[in-house]
């Protein structure tokens, strides 16, 4: 079994090396085989240079968008690139490249996959979880989105539909790509993370969560999220998926 870190990155020249270093130290130190995939979404800072500097330090595959295409297409490309050469029981981990997610939590997520789950989510809404450094308005918006998703799209074991820190069994991603192809992710922005989860639920993925403390105070730079646009996109996504047919096997 191999652990594959799949990172979407946009203007993360300072934080990205820290994330890769922690991943190498934590996962490699626990004795797992590992590699990484980074998709640079048209960064205009030194992100590309930082990626090149890490090629000699760990097994690393990369893709670069010449212009910024948004989180949706970038996370789709990262998942597709990671799963292309993965064995069905390999574990593909996605997280933000801005150093706000605790890499050490991967070691708690891996055993859940071993218990038979297909997706394990680092959740802000479990006992022991928390958020540091996020405004009250953003917390309220996140909580509201969670309530809407749980009401209209209940998934057993899931409370956090939008967090990007997840561990996937590679085999379930391969199934989803066969069913949906490039349509696995159609949202351009942050609503794409919920879209992935809802579509994986439609192909029968079993899901679980572990509590996470989100360290937004460690983020190096301003948020890239446009909150009003994300809210509108989330509502439109709910309406579209609620009335769309399930994909055929």
- Residues in Cβ contact with 192 at an 8 Å cutoff, skipping those fewer than 6 apart: 70, 71, 72, 75, 76, 185, 186
What string of DSSP letters covers 98-167?
TS-S-GGGHHHHHHHHHTT-SEEEEESSSTT-EEES--HHHHHHHHHHHHHHHHHS--TT-S-SS---EE
Is 161 inside a domain boundary?
yes
Q: Are 78 and 55 in contact (CB under 8 A)?
A: no
Is 126 inside a domain boundary?
yes
**CA 121, CA 139: separation in Å to the nearest integer?**
18
Is 248 inside a domain boundary?
no
What string of DSSP letters covers 138-150?
HHHHHHHHHHHHH
- pTM exceeds 0.85: yes
Enter the tokens of residue 43: 């960064």
**42: domain range?**
2-242
Is 14 inside a domain boundary?
yes
pLDDT score recorded for residue 132: 86
Residues in the chain: 249
Q: Are 103 and 26 in contact (CB under 8 A)?
A: yes
- Residues in Cβ contact with 144 at an 8 Å cutoff, skipping those fewer than 6 apart: none
Q: How far is CA 205 from the centre of its chain?
A: 16
The domain tally of the chain equals: 1
Is 45 inside a domain boundary?
yes
Is 247 inside a domain boundary?
no
pLDDT score recorded for residue 239: 67
Is 217 inside a domain boundary?
yes
Is 249 inside a domain boundary?
no
Q: Give the residues of the chain that fall short of pLDDT 70.
A: 219-235, 237-239, 241-249
The enclosing domain of 224 has a CATH number of 3.90.550.10
């Amino acid at each position: 079994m191999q652990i594959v870190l799949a990172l979407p990155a946009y203007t993360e020249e300072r934080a990205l090396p820290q994330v890769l270093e922690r991943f190498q130290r934590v996962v490699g130190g626990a004795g797992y085989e590992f590699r990484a995939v980074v998709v640079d979404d048209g960064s205009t800072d030194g992100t590309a240079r930082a990626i090149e500097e890490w090629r000699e330090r760990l097994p690393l595959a990369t893709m670069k968008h010449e212009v910024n295409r948004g989180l949706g297409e970038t996370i789709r490309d990262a998942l597709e690139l990671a799963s292309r050469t993965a064995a069905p029981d390999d574990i593909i981990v996605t997280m933000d490249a801005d150093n706000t997610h605790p890499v050490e939590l991967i070691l708690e997520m891996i055993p859940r996959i071993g218990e038979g789950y297909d997706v394990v989510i680092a959740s802000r809404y479990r006992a022991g979880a928390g958020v540091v450094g996020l405004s009250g308005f953003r917390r309220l918006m996140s909580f509201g989105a969670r309530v809407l998703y749980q009401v209209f799209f209940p998934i057993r074991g899931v409370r956090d539909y939008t967090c990007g820190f997840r561990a996937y069994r590679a085999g379930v991603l391969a199934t989803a790509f066969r069913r949906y192809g490039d349509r696995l992710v159609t949202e351009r922005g942050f609503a794409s993370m919920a879209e992935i989860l809802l579509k994986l639920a439609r192909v029968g993925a079993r899901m679980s969560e572990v509590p996470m403390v989100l360290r937004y105070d460690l983020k190096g730079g301003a948020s890239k999220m446009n909150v009003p646009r994300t809210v509108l996109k989330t509502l439109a996504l709910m309406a579209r998926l609620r009335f769309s047919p399930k994909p055929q096997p």
